[in-house]
Structure 1
Amino acid sequence: MTIFDESGESILYKILLVDPNSDSSETMLHMLDWNQAGFCIHTTADNITDALYHVDNPAHILVLINIKRLQSFGLQLCGLIRQKSRIPIILIGGGQDFNLARQALHYQVNDYLTDPVQSSELLDCLGRFRRNLDASLEDAVKAPQPHCQNSIIDMVKKYVQEELHQNISLKKISEALHFNCAYLGQKFKSEEQISFNEYLLQQRMEKAKHLLESTEMRIYEISREVGYSETDWFYKKFKEYTGTSANEYRKQTLITA
């Protein structure tokens, strides 16, 4: 069954395409005759912020995410979308990875097309959605939930915890998450009441304290474990943070143990 509007024209269901790469977005636009399939790519978003903003547009009936370009952040975007919407999601371009597919199921992704995506495969997928949408438009009505900005900050904090031994910067994280660096910094401080750099220093020093208290690791090993390649710089930052040297801190914990 085909749904028609008041003028007698068949309805084109509007798609939100999420792809940070302009070349692959352009390729997707010309991959098939979207109108013939009953759809149109109404909006493209090249970062998570824009994608979440456009998901709120009730005109969109489907989200198409290039998981190959967004990589693991594509799944995190699915999680953020699911906190605010039941809109159908199709992931395209992923590998034949069981773990990835399992996570996609966890976020209730509606379909998952592995790379290389064939136009016939995508057309079949869209055809199934078209039949379901035509049969029951109300199935695609979205139910907005409370905003998910805290989840974005959780992603930043999770990144810090996992990469604490590396050279971390807000710029690097914002690029990885496809966020504006200044926006992300302001959002972090607003939510956490502390700047990102202060938070990062806090996490490094607290882990260093824990390692000094609970392990026999050498100071230079702890320095590298918490992201400082220069031990002298670690000594300086640790003393500024705790008021005592790393060696003295370890001695004090041994005395009070």
Structure 2
Amino acid sequence: MIQALIVDDEPMHVEGLARHVQWESLGYAQPLTAMSGEAALAILRERRIDVLVTDVSMPGINGIELAARCKKANPGIQVLMVSGYDEFEFVQEAIEVGARGYVLKPIKVAEIEGKLAAFRASLEKMRRIEAETTELQAKVSGSLDVVKERFIHDLIEGAVESETVASWTRLLELPDLQEGVRLVLFSSDRLLVEGTDARSRVMRGAAFFKAVSVSLSDICSVIIAKLGPEEVLTVHINPASEDKARLEKQISFIQDVMLEQHGLSITVGISQTCPKWSDVPLAYRRMKFMMARARLLERGLVLYENQLDDNDFQNQRVSEEYIPEIIHMLGEAKQADKALEYASNVFALLETGQSLSYLQAFALGLLSELSRKPTRPEALNAEMNVSVMQQILDCSQASQVRQLALRYLAQYATASRNEQATQQHHLIQAICEYIYEHLHENVTVKQLAEMNHINASYLSVLFKKETGQTISDYIQEVRINRAKELLHNPTVRVYEVAEKVGFQTAAYFAYLFKKITGQTPQEYRNYH
């Protein structure tokens, strides 16, 4: 049963709700009651409460403060606010602290029951989600195959770092890495028979994974994962010579089974032994590249990583990985330093094994891509780009090319940061001025974002970074400060002050003013 708590400083209101609402038929236990916020908090410390029904205006701890404390202690609690104030601001305040419903006095039983029924539906869904999540977690924890598959996915994506290897090793009970890791990638090529509908593809994918896992089940320290309907990857830990031979003998069996039973040819890539876990992502990418190139001529091959043309792979990484990644990171102010470190590592990698002209071509290609970006900093004009490119062409040593390119990238990152910071500063200043000039209006974050053609969430982040405050807190502070100025003029009535600073009612203005300053508007005026 759902447990509700009614809080109101008026005994008749509490008794009326407890007596006239059909609690049992709504799926609720008989509600608990309290006559103050303090008494309600005492009950909440002792009992689990699912639904809080509270009056807004109470002495001591009012309903809004009570709701805020309850939501902090129990985020799932459903809060229904009851008030005699027919005012938008109190509704807004209630929503901000987490209230899910708001009704006005005099209370209508049917309206209360409608809200309680909706709360019950929400609570039932939340409990179902919690139960199913717990059940799923239990299944995942109990399924070693699922955990192994997650490990391999993270491994090839580079998400398994030196700090997390130990925890994965304990979880999967993996042996210590002494002889390294060897990858064997099985990838389907093309169908040689009919059957491209969804059901056929699912069945083939399941048969593909089963063929690999059953065939290799008797080989020690092999983890197998399905990367997709057309790829299965095996990770062989500490592969002994005899185990390598046994695994390779099974490859032709797997290829034959898939071809005969499902009309599917399979290309297989076998990596060299990786000494460290951190070497696996690169080995996987090398195999993918090697297998894609080989498929252009023939399908159903067994390929070894030592057959890969390193120059071809390096060229592909330069054009499809290195340059795009450097440009992407330079485009984000927070990653500028990381971009320079990454670029430095790329140059160091290319310097070993590549000619001076190759390194020059890489540097020129990188600068050329940066110069074509529509968002490039104005400080780096075309003349400067041409000058740096010419200096790179004049270099006689690889180290000179690296120094020139990295110096340009550092200038690019600094210019981008400065330009972006200046633009953001001007934007936030303009927004602050607009807020001050339109205090009498109900200015929203969405409205400000649309006016400036940016995402509302992004604007909120920028504003907080520039001012140290959220937009709503800033608006509230400006309103209260402007109200203080106006209250010094005795000819302006309090309700007029409220209107001038954007409050729809004097009641909510008085409530918020006292909440922030500790004085009512009239007390503040009298004191000053």
TM-score (norm 2): 0.25
Larger RCO: 1 or 2 (CA < 8 Å, sep 6+)? 1
More helix by share: 2
Which structure's CA Rg is the greater one?
A: 2
